[in-house]
Chain A
Amino acid sequence: MAGRATGMGRIAAAAIALAAASTGAAGAPTQRIVSINMCADALLLALAEPAQIAALTALSHDPRNFSRADEAARFPATAGRAEDVLALAPGLVLASAFTAPATVSLLRRLGAPLRQLPVASDFPQLRAQMRDVAAAIGQQDRGEAAIAAMDRRLDDLARDMPLPPLSVLALQANNIVAGEGTLADTVIRAAGLTNAAAQAGISGYGRMSLEAMLALAPDVLVIDADGDNAPARANRLLHHPALAALTRNGTRAVTMPSRLWVCAGPDLVDAVAHLRASLRQEGE
């Protein structure tokens, strides 16, 4: 870093990079893209050419957290800190609205070309975000193609053996349920089902006592679980005999690996597919 240009030089470089990035079709696709957010990793893998990617996050290398871990493994990983990022001389840095504010402001101050992606929580927002990122990296055509493919899959799923609008309760550790406006809610509705928590008036991620959950008596219980359960009291709930009794009384229990619906990305459709497939397997 000692050999690099001073502040003014960096700002100039950043300005040029940003200009190049935002012109898209007029100029070359952005090079040396660094993502410091796992969900942005997914977008990059779907929309960018491999040559454009300089580094992804270490999280995406873990198949427990990330669906495309073997793809991500081909790229270097950073810990997401400012020094790691700047050392790569990035043409563009993708972060999320929740990336540590200290890291974000430091990167900005040091002149890195940073773009913070807002959280998308339904398919229209997701499409807009995909277009936005595609434009930022100079790959509008690939963006449109990815969106079209996603929409096609959604249509196929909907056409394919329609399910009755079963009520679904998406449950996480710590008594957290997914209410209206969450990604889980989006997936449930895209699968043609109704969200029991949203119907109970819960907006966003809310807490619900076990008793209240039982009283809802949903048709389907979707348990949002990590593949590898390191011991946590949070997960005790998921093994509580009361939930077991619910399933004996007719509620269907389905597991959704968290990695399928933790990010809003083109792979979110996998979550919809998994949900529908699990329900059909449960026998009708």
Chain B
Amino acid sequence: MSATATGRRALPFLVLALVAAGLAALSAAIGDTRLDIVAATGDVLAGRQTLAALILVELRLPRALLGLLTGFSLGLAGAAMQGLLRNPLAEPGIMGVSGAAALGAVVVFYSGLAGAFALALPLGGMAGALAASVILHALAGRGAGVLTLVLAGVAVNSLAGALTALALNLSPNPYAALEIVFWLMGSLADHSLADVALVLAPMLAGWLLLLASAPALDALSLGEDVAQSLGFDLARVRVRLIAGTALAVGSAVAVTGMVGFVGLVAPHLVRPLARREPGRVLWLAGLAGAILTLAADIGLRLLPTQPELNLGVVTAIVGAPFLLVLIRRSQERD
């Protein structure tokens, strides 16, 4: 491929990466208190322990980083799911993967395991996401159509939601019943760098597994038989996608709670840029997911609501109508 062709292929990626980085910086610049971000950055770099530096490093930075990381994970996982199921309506939230991840995290957290062993929390989220993914792919493997899969997702979501509420109810802590709002509606607020460190490794591992599936997803656009005849071991592809989704989404939800619809909207927005090739969509959807999450998080901080809105509320307000439009459009096509 010529140099200009390669350049042209890389252009959407570079643009999206720049936008994401820009939004992350903007996110760090916004907060409750007035912060001179330039001065604060200077303080940090010079090692001065000022209040501004403290706020920037311990509060603003984790929030921006988590927005980037979880947004990328959700967008990427959504694109991977859509590629595997060959359907643009699939995403971890709708399919119940996020709900199950929240359940896993809640069980681990309120049983006290997370206090004993910090990594237990993302592991709990991953276990939940894994269980839902396995159910989903077992159904898909038997040739279930999209309607069946979505209904299965509804069932998993309902069950996970109910069990989450039950777990919170049984928890001895008096705040537990209130905290369901966090788990079901997600938030990036008041996280620490420790949270970022906790999820970084599992997320990166998940990303690698998902991104490595790009050629397989391209082949799958011609159906499972042709994909196999093109040299892909479908069982292994499925395992990689299940594991990758569980790692990326599970750890994200364990720290930020459920943030829905990002995995649905991001792939759809970038599909034209990727010329609809499922493999190319992966990277771009990850970046778009980061952009959407950061934008939503910035938006909710600019709104004059008190206390600030949950992130999942904003993504649902944007994402649910989007889903309805998508459904309508797919109906018109058929």
Contacts and interface: CB of A to CB of B under 8 A. Distances in A.
Q: Do chains A and B touch in the complex (CB under 8 A)?
A: yes
Interface of A: 173-175, 207, 209-212, 214-215, 217, 230-234, 236-237, 240-242, 245-246, 248-249
Contacts of A212: 32-33
Contacts of B193: 241
B51 A233 contact: no
Nearest to A249: B49
A237 B110 CA distance: 16
B114 interface: yes
B190 A210 contact: yes
A233 B114 CA distance: 11
A233 B174 CA distance: 11
Contact of B58 (A217, A237, A245): A245
Contacts of B54: 214, 242, 245-246, 249
Interface in B5-45: 31-33
Interface string B270-299: 000000000000000000000000000000
Contacts of A232: 110, 171, 173-176, 179
A207 B32 CA distance: 12
B47 interface: no
Interface in B64-114: 109-112, 114
Given A214-B55, A215-B55, A232-B171, 10 more contacts: A210-B59, A211-B32, A212-B32, A214-B54, A214-B59, A215-B51, A231-B109, A231-B112, A231-B115, A245-B58
Given A174-B178, A214-B54, A242-B192, A230 B172 contact: yes
B194 interface: yes
Interface of B: 31-33, 49, 51, 54-55, 58-60, 109-112, 114-115, 171-176, 178-179, 182, 189-190, 192-194, 306-308
A173 B114 CA distance: 18
Contacts of A246: 54
A217 B51 contact: yes
B190 A241 contact: no
B159 to A, nearest CB: 22
Contacts of A242: 54-55, 58-59, 192
A231 B114 contact: yes
Contacts of B59: 210-211, 214, 242
Contact of B110 (A173, A207, A231, A236): A231
Given A212-B32, A246-B54, A175 B190 contact: yes
Question: Chain A at the B interface: mostly helix, strand, loop or mixed?
Answer: helix
25 contacts: A173-B175, A174-B175, A207-B307, A209-B32, A210-B59, A212-B33, A214-B51, A215-B33, A215-B51, A217-B51, A230-B112, A231-B110, A231-B115, A231-B173, A232-B110, A232-B173, A232-B174, A232-B179, A233-B175, A233-B182, A234-B175, A234-B179, A245-B49, A245-B54, A248-B49
Contacts of A175: 190, 307
A129 B92 CA distance: 57
A240 B115 contact: no
A165 B115 CA distance: 37
B178 A241 contact: no
Contact of B179 (A210, A233, A240, A241): A233
Name which of B31, B114, B193, B308 has the most chain A CB atoms within 10 A of its CB: B31
Contacts of A211: 31-33, 55, 59-60
Contacts of A234: 173, 175, 178-179
B33 A240 contact: no
Contacts of B58: 240-242, 245
Nearest to B192: A241
B154 to A, nearest CB: 27
Name which of A175, A212, A231, A240 has the most chain B CB atoms within 10 A of its CB: A231
A207 B308 CA distance: 11
Nearest to B49: A249
Contacts of A217: 51
A217 B179 CA distance: 28
Contacts of A249: 49, 51, 54
B43 to A, nearest CB: 13
Contacts of B179: 232-234
A234 B175 CA distance: 7
Contacts of A245: 49, 54, 58
B112 A209 contact: no
Name which of A230, A236, A249 has the most chain B CB atoms within 10 A of its CB: A230
Contact of B171 (A173, A209, A230, A240): A230
Nearest to A209: B32
Given A214-B59, A231-B171, A242-B55, A209 B190 contact: yes
B105 to A, nearest CB: 10
Nearest to A234: B175
